[in-house]
Amino acid sequence: CCPGILERLDAGEIVIGDGGFVFALEKRGYVKAGPWTPEAAAEYPEAVRQLHREFLRAGSNVMQTFTFYASDDKLENRGHTQRFTGQQINEAACDLAREVANEGDALVAGGVSQTPSYLSCKSENDVKAIFKKQIDVFVKKNVDFLIAEYFEHVEEAEWAVQVLKTTGKPVAATLCIGPEGDLNKVSPGDCAVRLVKAGAQIVGVNCHFDPETCVKTVKMMKAGVEKAGLKAHYMTQPLAFHTPDCNCQGFIDLPEFPFSLEPRILTRWDMQKYAREAYNAGIHYIGGCCGFEPYHTRALAEELAPERGFLPAGSEKHGNWGSGLEMHTKPWVRARARRDYWEKLKPASGRPFCPSMAMPDGWGVTKGHADLMQQKEATSQEQLKALFNKANKSH
Protein backbone atom coordinates (compact mmCIF):
# COMPACT_ATOMS: atom_id res chain seq x y z
CA CYS A 1 0.00 0.00 0.00
CA CYS A 2 1.19 3.58 -0.60
CA PRO A 3 2.63 5.45 2.43
CA GLY A 4 0.12 7.06 4.83
CA ILE A 5 -0.32 10.77 5.46
CA LEU A 6 1.98 10.90 8.51
CA GLU A 7 4.69 8.80 6.80
CA ARG A 8 4.67 11.26 3.91
CA LEU A 9 4.79 14.37 6.09
CA ASP A 10 7.35 12.87 8.48
CA ALA A 11 9.59 12.19 5.46
CA GLY A 12 9.36 15.86 4.48
CA GLU A 13 7.14 15.24 1.45
CA ILE A 14 4.76 17.88 0.15
CA VAL A 15 1.15 16.71 0.11
CA ILE A 16 -1.17 18.45 -2.37
CA GLY A 17 -4.79 18.56 -1.23
CA ASP A 18 -7.84 18.70 -3.46
CA GLY A 19 -10.32 21.54 -3.98
CA GLY A 20 -13.72 22.79 -2.93
CA PHE A 21 -16.26 20.18 -4.02
CA VAL A 22 -19.30 22.02 -2.66
CA PHE A 23 -18.70 25.17 -4.74
CA ALA A 24 -17.40 23.29 -7.79
CA LEU A 25 -20.43 20.99 -7.88
CA GLU A 26 -22.84 23.88 -7.21
CA LYS A 27 -21.50 25.60 -10.34
CA ARG A 28 -21.99 22.33 -12.26
CA GLY A 29 -25.60 21.98 -11.07
CA TYR A 30 -25.27 19.14 -8.51
CA VAL A 31 -25.28 20.97 -5.14
CA LYS A 32 -27.80 23.48 -3.79
CA ALA A 33 -26.37 26.73 -2.45
CA GLY A 34 -27.85 27.46 0.97
CA PRO A 35 -27.93 24.04 2.60
CA TRP A 36 -24.60 23.13 0.83
CA THR A 37 -25.16 19.42 1.53
CA PRO A 38 -23.45 16.59 -0.41
CA GLU A 39 -26.34 14.30 -1.40
CA ALA A 40 -24.85 14.28 -4.94
CA ALA A 41 -22.52 11.48 -3.77
CA ALA A 42 -25.58 9.21 -3.69
CA GLU A 43 -27.74 11.06 -6.22
CA TYR A 44 -25.26 11.90 -9.02
CA PRO A 45 -22.20 9.73 -8.37
CA GLU A 46 -20.79 10.20 -11.88
CA ALA A 47 -20.44 13.97 -11.26
CA VAL A 48 -18.59 13.45 -7.98
CA ARG A 49 -16.37 10.72 -9.49
CA GLN A 50 -15.41 12.95 -12.44
CA LEU A 51 -14.45 15.85 -10.16
CA HIS A 52 -12.28 13.53 -8.04
CA ARG A 53 -10.58 12.37 -11.27
CA GLU A 54 -9.90 15.93 -12.37
CA PHE A 55 -8.27 16.82 -9.04
CA LEU A 56 -6.22 13.60 -9.14
CA ARG A 57 -5.02 14.47 -12.66
CA ALA A 58 -4.19 17.99 -11.43
CA GLY A 59 -1.85 16.58 -8.78
CA SER A 60 -3.95 16.00 -5.64
CA ASN A 61 -2.54 13.37 -3.27
CA VAL A 62 -5.69 13.35 -1.13
CA MET A 63 -9.23 12.52 -2.18
CA GLN A 64 -11.48 13.98 0.51
CA THR A 65 -14.78 12.16 0.79
CA PHE A 66 -17.59 14.44 -0.35
CA THR A 67 -19.19 14.43 3.10
CA PHE A 68 -19.13 18.12 4.01
CA TYR A 69 -22.14 18.92 6.20
CA ALA A 70 -23.50 15.33 5.91
CA SER A 71 -24.61 15.12 9.55
CA ASP A 72 -28.29 14.28 9.94
CA ASP A 73 -29.02 17.50 11.83
CA LYS A 74 -27.65 19.54 8.89
CA LEU A 75 -29.34 17.39 6.23
CA GLU A 76 -32.72 18.09 7.88
CA ASN A 77 -32.12 21.76 8.77
CA ARG A 78 -34.61 24.47 7.78
CA GLY A 79 -37.03 22.45 5.68
CA HIS A 80 -34.34 20.66 3.66
CA THR A 81 -35.88 17.31 2.70
CA GLN A 82 -33.70 14.35 1.80
CA ARG A 83 -34.15 11.17 -0.18
CA PHE A 84 -30.95 9.82 1.39
CA THR A 85 -29.76 9.39 4.96
CA GLY A 86 -26.44 10.74 6.17
CA GLN A 87 -25.15 7.17 6.24
CA GLN A 88 -26.10 6.49 2.61
CA ILE A 89 -24.44 9.72 1.47
CA ASN A 90 -21.28 9.10 3.51
CA GLU A 91 -20.94 5.48 2.33
CA ALA A 92 -21.35 6.47 -1.33
CA ALA A 93 -18.84 9.31 -0.89
CA CYS A 94 -16.26 6.95 0.64
CA ASP A 95 -16.63 4.45 -2.22
CA LEU A 96 -16.20 7.15 -4.88
CA ALA A 97 -13.12 8.67 -3.20
CA ARG A 98 -11.48 5.24 -2.80
CA GLU A 99 -12.23 4.20 -6.38
CA VAL A 100 -10.48 7.29 -7.77
CA ALA A 101 -7.65 7.32 -5.19
CA ASN A 102 -6.77 3.80 -6.34
CA GLU A 103 -6.29 5.14 -9.87
CA GLY A 104 -3.26 7.13 -8.67
CA ASP A 105 -0.98 7.86 -5.72
CA ALA A 106 -3.69 9.26 -3.47
CA LEU A 107 -5.02 8.76 0.05
CA VAL A 108 -8.65 8.94 1.15
CA ALA A 109 -9.60 11.36 3.94
CA GLY A 110 -12.97 11.29 5.70
CA GLY A 111 -14.17 14.62 7.04
CA VAL A 112 -16.54 15.99 9.66
CA SER A 113 -17.55 19.64 9.96
CA GLN A 114 -19.22 21.97 12.46
CA THR A 115 -22.82 21.16 13.35
CA PRO A 116 -26.05 23.17 13.68
CA SER A 117 -26.43 21.41 17.06
CA TYR A 118 -23.35 23.21 18.43
CA LEU A 119 -24.64 26.61 17.21
CA SER A 120 -27.93 25.84 18.93
CA CYS A 121 -26.07 25.22 22.24
CA LYS A 122 -26.65 21.46 22.43
CA SER A 123 -24.50 19.57 24.97
CA GLU A 124 -21.00 18.20 24.37
CA ASN A 125 -22.43 14.67 24.42
CA ASP A 126 -25.10 15.53 21.83
CA VAL A 127 -22.54 17.08 19.48
CA LYS A 128 -20.06 14.24 19.94
CA ALA A 129 -22.81 11.70 19.18
CA ILE A 130 -23.25 13.35 15.75
CA PHE A 131 -19.52 13.01 15.00
CA LYS A 132 -19.53 9.43 16.28
CA LYS A 133 -22.32 8.48 13.87
CA GLN A 134 -20.34 9.93 10.95
CA ILE A 135 -17.02 8.25 11.82
CA ASP A 136 -18.64 4.83 12.10
CA VAL A 137 -18.99 4.95 8.30
CA PHE A 138 -15.36 6.10 7.84
CA VAL A 139 -14.11 3.21 9.99
CA LYS A 140 -16.31 0.72 8.13
CA LYS A 141 -15.01 2.02 4.79
CA ASN A 142 -11.42 2.17 6.13
CA VAL A 143 -10.43 5.69 5.05
CA ASP A 144 -6.71 6.48 5.40
CA PHE A 145 -7.05 9.45 7.75
CA LEU A 146 -9.64 11.85 9.17
CA ILE A 147 -10.09 15.60 8.98
CA ALA A 148 -12.12 17.80 11.32
CA GLU A 149 -12.56 20.81 9.05
CA TYR A 150 -14.53 24.02 8.90
CA PHE A 151 -14.91 24.89 12.57
CA GLU A 152 -15.50 28.47 13.71
CA HIS A 153 -15.17 27.60 17.41
CA VAL A 154 -12.10 25.74 18.66
CA GLU A 155 -14.15 24.10 21.43
CA GLU A 156 -16.31 22.21 18.90
CA ALA A 157 -13.20 21.27 16.89
CA GLU A 158 -11.61 19.84 20.06
CA TRP A 159 -14.70 17.70 20.60
CA ALA A 160 -14.48 16.48 16.99
CA VAL A 161 -10.78 15.63 17.32
CA GLN A 162 -11.42 13.70 20.55
CA VAL A 163 -14.04 11.59 18.75
CA LEU A 164 -11.89 11.10 15.62
CA LYS A 165 -8.92 10.00 17.77
CA THR A 166 -10.88 7.01 19.07
CA THR A 167 -10.51 5.37 15.63
CA GLY A 168 -6.72 5.13 15.93
CA LYS A 169 -6.39 6.81 12.52
CA PRO A 170 -4.29 9.95 11.90
CA VAL A 171 -6.27 13.15 12.56
CA ALA A 172 -6.00 16.57 10.93
CA ALA A 173 -7.94 19.59 12.21
CA THR A 174 -8.56 22.83 10.34
CA LEU A 175 -10.47 25.85 11.63
CA CYS A 176 -12.11 28.43 9.34
CA ILE A 177 -10.48 31.33 11.15
CA GLY A 178 -8.22 34.26 10.29
CA PRO A 179 -5.50 36.09 12.25
CA GLU A 180 -8.09 37.38 14.77
CA GLY A 181 -8.75 33.81 15.93
CA ASP A 182 -11.98 31.90 16.42
CA LEU A 183 -15.38 33.52 16.96
CA ASN A 184 -14.77 33.59 20.72
CA LYS A 185 -11.50 35.45 20.01
CA VAL A 186 -9.24 32.51 20.98
CA SER A 187 -5.97 33.34 19.15
CA PRO A 188 -4.70 31.13 16.29
CA GLY A 189 -1.71 30.07 18.42
CA ASP A 190 -3.90 29.04 21.36
CA CYS A 191 -6.37 27.29 19.03
CA ALA A 192 -3.56 25.22 17.52
CA VAL A 193 -2.17 24.25 20.94
CA ARG A 194 -5.62 23.10 22.04
CA LEU A 195 -6.08 21.01 18.89
CA VAL A 196 -2.67 19.36 19.25
CA LYS A 197 -3.38 18.62 22.92
CA ALA A 198 -6.73 17.11 21.89
CA GLY A 199 -4.78 14.73 19.65
CA ALA A 200 -4.52 16.28 16.16
CA GLN A 201 -1.24 15.49 14.39
CA ILE A 202 -1.89 17.98 11.57
CA VAL A 203 -3.36 21.44 12.25
CA GLY A 204 -4.21 24.45 10.15
CA VAL A 205 -7.00 26.41 8.51
CA ASN A 206 -9.46 25.93 5.69
CA CYS A 207 -12.06 28.07 3.89
CA HIS A 208 -13.35 31.57 4.84
CA PHE A 209 -10.16 33.45 3.78
CA ASP A 210 -7.77 33.79 0.85
CA PRO A 211 -4.38 32.04 0.66
CA GLU A 212 -2.41 35.04 1.91
CA THR A 213 -4.57 35.33 5.05
CA CYS A 214 -4.56 31.57 5.64
CA VAL A 215 -0.78 31.28 5.40
CA LYS A 216 -0.43 34.21 7.82
CA THR A 217 -2.86 32.49 10.24
CA VAL A 218 -1.09 29.11 10.07
CA LYS A 219 2.24 30.85 10.74
CA MET A 220 0.66 32.13 13.98
CA MET A 221 -0.56 28.61 14.80
CA LYS A 222 2.90 27.17 14.18
CA ALA A 223 4.50 29.80 16.42
CA GLY A 224 2.01 28.96 19.20
CA VAL A 225 2.62 25.21 18.96
CA GLU A 226 6.41 25.65 18.97
CA LYS A 227 6.26 28.09 21.90
CA ALA A 228 4.30 25.45 23.87
CA GLY A 229 7.04 22.91 23.14
CA LEU A 230 4.68 20.73 21.06
CA LYS A 231 5.04 19.21 17.62
CA ALA A 232 2.66 19.07 14.64
CA HIS A 233 2.44 19.14 10.86
CA TYR A 234 0.68 22.10 9.22
CA MET A 235 -1.88 22.46 6.46
CA THR A 236 -3.73 25.18 4.54
CA GLN A 237 -6.84 24.76 2.40
CA PRO A 238 -7.83 28.37 1.62
CA LEU A 239 -10.46 29.90 -0.65
CA ALA A 240 -9.70 30.63 -4.30
CA PHE A 241 -11.11 34.14 -3.74
CA HIS A 242 -9.25 37.31 -2.75
CA THR A 243 -10.57 38.48 0.64
CA PRO A 244 -8.48 41.46 1.82
CA ASP A 245 -11.66 43.23 2.98
CA CYS A 246 -13.00 40.42 5.21
CA ASN A 247 -13.66 40.65 8.94
CA CYS A 248 -13.28 37.76 11.41
CA GLN A 249 -16.27 35.92 9.92
CA GLY A 250 -14.56 35.59 6.53
CA PHE A 251 -16.12 35.54 3.08
CA ILE A 252 -19.67 34.63 4.20
CA ASP A 253 -19.93 38.24 5.45
CA LEU A 254 -19.05 39.64 2.01
CA PRO A 255 -22.10 41.04 0.20
CA GLU A 256 -21.10 39.01 -2.90
CA PHE A 257 -21.35 35.66 -1.06
CA PRO A 258 -22.14 33.24 -2.58
CA PHE A 259 -23.42 34.13 -6.08
CA SER A 260 -21.24 37.07 -7.20
CA LEU A 261 -17.77 36.10 -6.04
CA GLU A 262 -16.35 35.49 -9.54
CA PRO A 263 -14.46 38.81 -9.83
CA ARG A 264 -12.40 37.74 -6.79
CA ILE A 265 -11.15 34.40 -8.19
CA LEU A 266 -7.39 33.85 -7.98
CA THR A 267 -5.50 33.20 -11.20
CA ARG A 268 -3.26 30.17 -11.64
CA TRP A 269 -0.28 32.49 -11.12
CA ASP A 270 -1.69 33.70 -7.79
CA MET A 271 -1.88 30.02 -6.84
CA GLN A 272 1.77 29.45 -7.66
CA LYS A 273 2.65 32.34 -5.36
CA TYR A 274 0.48 30.80 -2.60
CA ALA A 275 2.14 27.39 -2.97
CA ARG A 276 5.59 28.93 -2.64
CA GLU A 277 4.65 31.09 0.37
CA ALA A 278 2.99 28.15 2.15
CA TYR A 279 6.00 25.91 1.56
CA ASN A 280 8.42 28.61 2.73
CA ALA A 281 6.33 28.98 5.91
CA GLY A 282 6.87 25.29 6.75
CA ILE A 283 3.41 24.17 5.61
CA HIS A 284 3.68 20.84 3.79
CA TYR A 285 0.01 19.91 3.31
CA ILE A 286 -1.12 22.47 0.74
CA GLY A 287 -4.61 22.28 -0.73
CA GLY A 288 -7.71 24.33 -1.38
CA CYS A 289 -11.34 24.89 -0.48
CA CYS A 290 -14.26 26.83 -1.99
CA GLY A 291 -13.56 28.27 -5.43
CA PHE A 292 -10.67 25.91 -6.16
CA GLU A 293 -10.97 24.23 -9.54
CA PRO A 294 -8.55 21.56 -10.81
CA TYR A 295 -6.42 24.11 -12.72
CA HIS A 296 -5.75 25.89 -9.41
CA THR A 297 -4.57 22.63 -7.86
CA ARG A 298 -2.38 21.93 -10.90
CA ALA A 299 -0.72 25.32 -10.34
CA LEU A 300 0.20 24.28 -6.77
CA ALA A 301 1.73 21.03 -8.06
CA GLU A 302 3.59 22.84 -10.86
CA GLU A 303 5.07 25.47 -8.54
CA LEU A 304 6.36 22.77 -6.18
CA ALA A 305 7.49 20.36 -8.92
CA PRO A 306 11.21 21.18 -8.33
CA GLU A 307 10.87 20.09 -4.66
CA ARG A 308 8.64 17.11 -5.46
CA GLY A 309 10.64 15.91 -8.47
CA PHE A 310 7.70 15.48 -10.86
CA LEU A 311 4.78 17.22 -12.56
CA PRO A 312 1.12 16.16 -12.35
CA ALA A 313 -0.45 14.30 -15.28
CA GLY A 314 -2.52 17.40 -16.14
CA SER A 315 0.64 19.36 -16.98
CA GLU A 316 0.85 17.53 -20.32
CA LYS A 317 -1.76 20.08 -21.45
CA HIS A 318 -0.10 23.10 -19.86
CA GLY A 319 3.23 24.74 -20.64
CA ASN A 320 5.34 26.05 -17.78
CA TRP A 321 4.54 29.76 -17.20
CA GLY A 322 2.46 29.93 -20.39
CA SER A 323 5.05 28.36 -22.72
CA GLY A 324 2.22 26.67 -24.67
CA LEU A 325 1.46 30.11 -26.13
CA GLU A 326 4.59 29.74 -28.31
CA MET A 327 2.24 27.79 -30.63
CA HIS A 328 -0.38 30.58 -30.83
CA THR A 329 -1.18 32.03 -34.27
CA LYS A 330 -1.08 35.68 -33.10
CA PRO A 331 2.39 37.15 -32.51
CA TRP A 332 1.33 39.42 -29.60
CA VAL A 333 -0.03 36.38 -27.78
CA ARG A 334 3.19 34.44 -28.51
CA ALA A 335 4.97 37.35 -26.82
CA ARG A 336 3.18 36.36 -23.56
CA ALA A 337 4.85 32.94 -23.41
CA ARG A 338 7.06 33.88 -20.44
CA ARG A 339 7.09 33.97 -16.67
CA ASP A 340 8.05 37.64 -16.54
CA TYR A 341 4.79 38.60 -18.29
CA TRP A 342 2.34 36.57 -16.16
CA GLU A 343 4.07 37.17 -12.84
CA LYS A 344 3.93 40.98 -13.22
CA LEU A 345 0.47 41.27 -14.80
CA LYS A 346 -2.15 43.17 -12.81
CA PRO A 347 -5.36 41.66 -14.20
CA ALA A 348 -8.26 44.04 -14.87
CA SER A 349 -11.79 43.08 -13.81
CA GLY A 350 -13.49 44.77 -16.76
CA ARG A 351 -16.06 46.29 -14.36
CA PRO A 352 -15.57 50.08 -14.48
CA PHE A 353 -18.43 50.89 -12.09
CA CYS A 354 -17.53 48.31 -9.43
CA PRO A 355 -15.38 48.84 -6.33
CA SER A 356 -12.30 46.68 -5.74
CA MET A 357 -13.29 46.18 -2.07
CA ALA A 358 -16.63 45.63 -0.32
CA MET A 359 -18.12 46.43 3.07
CA PRO A 360 -18.67 43.11 4.86
CA ASP A 361 -21.85 42.55 6.85
CA GLY A 362 -21.04 42.74 10.55
CA TRP A 363 -24.03 41.33 12.37
CA GLY A 364 -21.74 40.11 15.14
CA VAL A 365 -23.83 37.07 16.06
CA THR A 366 -22.36 33.72 17.04
CA LYS A 367 -23.17 30.64 19.10
CA GLY A 368 -25.88 31.32 21.67
CA HIS A 369 -27.54 34.18 19.76
CA ALA A 370 -31.26 33.73 19.00
CA ASP A 371 -30.65 34.39 15.28
CA LEU A 372 -28.39 31.32 15.14
CA MET A 373 -30.81 28.84 16.69
CA GLN A 374 -31.45 26.22 14.02
CA GLN A 375 -34.74 24.49 13.26
CA LYS A 376 -36.07 21.54 11.25
CA GLU A 377 -38.96 23.57 9.81
CA ALA A 378 -38.49 25.69 6.71
CA THR A 379 -37.61 29.34 7.34
CA SER A 380 -40.99 31.11 7.52
CA GLN A 381 -41.99 34.25 5.59
CA GLU A 382 -42.19 36.15 8.92
CA GLN A 383 -38.64 35.09 9.82
CA LEU A 384 -37.41 36.14 6.38
CA LYS A 385 -39.16 39.50 6.61
CA ALA A 386 -37.43 40.21 9.94
CA LEU A 387 -34.06 39.32 8.37
CA PHE A 388 -34.67 41.53 5.31
CA ASN A 389 -35.55 44.45 7.61
CA LYS A 390 -32.41 43.86 9.69
CA ALA A 391 -30.26 43.70 6.54
CA ASN A 392 -31.73 46.96 5.21
CA LYS A 393 -30.96 48.71 8.51
CA SER A 394 -27.37 47.43 8.61
CA HIS A 395 -26.51 48.82 5.14
Residues belonging to the binding site are: 207, 289-290
Binding site residue list for Zn(2+): 207, 289-290
- DSSP collapsed to 3 states, 310-351: CCCHHHHHCCHHHHHHHHCCCHHHHCCCCHHHHHHCCCCCCC
29: alpha, beta or left, given left = phi > 0 and alpha = psi -120 to 50? Answer: left
Q: Are 208 and 236 in contact (CB under 8 A)?
A: no
Task: Give, for 282, the enclosing helix (H) or strand (E).
Answer: none
C-alpha closest to that of 183 among 318, 41, 364 = 364
Please give the C-alpha separations between residue 305 and each of 18, 186, 275, 311, in angstroms, as whole numbers.
16, 36, 11, 6
Q: Are 82 and 75 in contact (CB under 8 A)?
A: yes
Q: Which residues pair with 205 in a beta bridge?
A: 175, 236
3-state SS assignment for residue 203: strand
Q: Are 362 and 247 in contact (CB under 8 A)?
A: yes
Calpha distance 129→160 (Å, rounded): 10
Is the bond preceding 263 in cis, omega lying within 30 degrees of 0?
A: no
